[in-house]
């Protein structure tokens, strides 16, 4: 997650649509284990244990059979509760964790933790790792290692069918666009106005709203031609609102993960280099066999998935 964005923005945006669709997500780790307990199905993909990767895990984790994973819930579509008031989890990170656990032959045991306390809790040995849409950056790399699985930034959501034929930020020049106040997305639109002027086109008519849900309403009612928000939030909203019939996301080939995209990763304790290496290899195996694509597509955010697993990819 971009550290400049409040997690509450996406929580507010997706609360209504997420609750309406969580039942359909309850197959998260569709967790139908085989008789031998060595295979599960996640997002329609069968995942089988790799014994070599299991053997490469730290002895303590092999002995316990568990990787202790911190996560801050809810933050749709990455981590959510299946039902309000119930502890069962779902979401992209949860599904990916179950797939990684199956590949490694251990359980990824998720436990809620306030976001700002996640890294300190890993340092203190309370958790082995974290999966919480966490932005990989150099500051965090000083205390944890990252295995990067997505790259995400800001995206454009339009009405279903894209009646205004919006394909890039340039197409917002001279048009009305909705955005939540005091966000990176507002800064993005303001900065892009200079390009509109340089191209001899009208300025973007930026319509700011106190909440993302208000901006979404403006798009729904036709008062604006697009809404700019984080690409994961846009993808999840387009996937779930009105059964996927209200909105769609613009995929600019020049910014597949979104504008101003940065890597997000699984944070792993620096005391467990064998674990980060094993997760890295397991993630690549899940990319290669198509499991990762299926998981990301389930949540409407296939475009932010990496094609190659990396470690500590952030350079600033």
Please name which of 233, 242, 232 lies closest in space to residue 215, comparing C-alpha atoms. 233
CA-wise closest residue to 233 among 10, 17, 12: 10
Domain boundary among 236, 255, 274: 255
The answer to whether residues 136 and 12 belong to one domain is: yes
The confidence score (pLDDT) of residue 113 equals: 95
The tokens for 154 are 């800001």
Domain shared by 117 and 225, yes or no: no
Q: Parallel, antiparallel, or unpaired for β 259-269 and 144-159?
A: antiparallel
Strand-pair category, 144-159 with 247-250 = antiparallel
Cβ burial, residue 42 (10 Å; 0-12/13-18/19+)? buried
Residue 65: per-residue pLDDT: 97
pLDDT single digits (tens) 66-105? 999 999 999 999 999 999 889 999 999 999 999 999 999 9
Give me the number of domains the chain comprises: 2
The answer as to whether 1 is a domain residue is no
Residue 108 binned pLDDT confidence (cut-offs 50, 70, 90):
very high
Q: How far apart, in whole angstroms, are the C-alpha atoms of residue 303 and residue 252? A: 10
Residues 88 and 142 in one domain: yes
Q: Are residues 33 and 123 in the same domain?
A: yes
**Structure confidence at residue 2 as a pLDDT band (50, 70, 90):** very low
Which residues, including other chains, have CB under 8 Å from residue 163's CB and lie 6 or more apart?
none
Dist CA 255 CA 258 (whole Å)? 5
pLDDT in tens, 158-196: 999 999 999 999 999 999 999 999 999 999 999 999 999
User: In which domain, by residue range, is 203 found?
Assistant: 153-255
- What percent of the chain has pLDDT above 90? 86
In 41-179, alpha helices (H): 51-55, 59-64, 92-104, 118-123, 138-141
CB 178 within 8 A of CB 227: yes
Q: Look at residue 7 in the predicted model and tell me its pLDDT.
A: 52
Q: Is 28 a member of any domain?
A: yes
- Tell me the three-class secondary structure of 281-302, residue by residue: HHHHHHHHCCHHHHHHHHCCCH
Residues 15, 22 contacting (CB under 8 angstroms): no
On the question of pLDDT at 232 being above 90, the answer is: yes
Q: Check pLDDT > 80 for residue 135.
A: yes
Q: Based on the domain organization, do 39 and 129 belong to the same domain?
A: yes
pLDDT of 6 over the 50 cut: no
Residue 27 predicted with pLDDT over 80: no
Cβ atoms of 311 and 148 closer than 8 Å: yes
Whole-angstrom distance, CA of residue 280 vs CA of residue 289:
15
- Helices then strands, counting H and E runs in the chain, come out as 11, 14
**Residues 170 and 265 placed together within one structural domain of the fold:** no
Q: How far apart are CA 70 and CA 262, in angstroms?
A: 21
pLDDT at 315: 87
Could you list the beta-strand ranges (E) of the chain.
39-42, 45-48, 66-71, 80-81, 89-90, 107-112, 129-135, 144-159, 176-180, 205-209, 226-230, 247-250, 259-269, 305-311
Mean model confidence pLDDT for the chain: 90
- pLDDT in the model for residue 316: 80
Q: Are residues 181 and 279 in the same domain?
A: no
Instruction: Kindly state the average pLDDT of the residues 141-162.
Output: 98
Residue (of 76, 31, 251, 298) closest to 156 by Cα position? 251
Q: How confident is the model at residue 19 (pLDDT cuts 50, 70, 90)?
A: very low
Q: Is 277 inside a domain boundary?
A: yes
120 and 13 within one domain: yes
Whichever domain contains 280, its CATH number is 3.40.190.10
Angstrom distance (rounded) from CA 213 to CA 15:
9
On whether the CB atoms of residues 306 and 265 are closer than 8 A, the answer is no
For residues 99-128, one letter each, b for 16 or more C-beta atoms within 10 angstroms of the residue's C-beta and e for the rest, the string is bbbbbbbbbbebeebebeebbebbeeeebb
Asked whether residue 131 falls in the same domain as residue 172, the answer is: no
For 35-65, the pLDDT digits (tens) are 334 689 999 999 999 999 999 999 999 999 9
Nearest CA-CA partner of 176 in 219, 229, 210: 219
């Amino acid at each position: 997650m971009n550290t400049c964005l409040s997690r509450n923005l996406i929580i507010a945006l997706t609360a209504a649509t997420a609750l309406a669709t969580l039942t359909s997500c309850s197959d998260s780790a569709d967790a139908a284990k085989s008789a031998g307990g060595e295979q599960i199905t996640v997002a329609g993909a069968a995942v089988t244990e790799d014994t070599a990767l299991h053997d490469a895990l730290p002895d303590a984790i092999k002995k316990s059979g568990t990787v202790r994973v911190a996560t801050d819930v809810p933050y749709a579509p990455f981590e959510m509760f299946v039902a309000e008031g119930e502890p069962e989890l779902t979401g992209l990170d949860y599904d990916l964790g179950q797939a990684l656990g199956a590949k490694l032959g251990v359980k990824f045991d998720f436990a809620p933790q306030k976001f700002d306390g996640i890294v300190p809790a890993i340092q203190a040995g309370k958790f082995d790792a974290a999966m919480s849409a966490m932005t990989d950056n150099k500051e965090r790399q000083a205390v944890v290692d990252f295995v990067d699985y997505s790259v995400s930034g800001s995206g454009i959501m339009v009405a279903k069918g894209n009646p205004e034929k919006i394909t890039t930020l340039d197409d917002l020049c001279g048009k009305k666009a909705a955005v939540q106040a005091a966000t990176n997305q507002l800064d993005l639109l303001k900065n892009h106005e200079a390009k509109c002027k340089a191209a001899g086109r009208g300025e973007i008519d930026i319509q700011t709203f106190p909440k993302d849900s208000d901006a979404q309403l403006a798009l729904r009612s036709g008062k604006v031609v697009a809404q700019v928000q984080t690409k994961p939030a846009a993808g999840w909203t387009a996937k779930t609102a009105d059964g996927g019939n209200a909105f769609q996301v613009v995929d600019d080939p020049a910014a597949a993960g979104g504008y101003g995209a940065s890597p997000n990763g699984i944070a792993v304790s620096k005391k467990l280099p064998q674990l980060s290496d094993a997760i890295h290899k397991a993630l690549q195996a899940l990319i290669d066999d198509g499991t990762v694509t299926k998981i990301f597509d389930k949540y409407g955010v296939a475009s932010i998935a990496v094609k190659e697993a990396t470690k500590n990819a952030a350079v600033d």
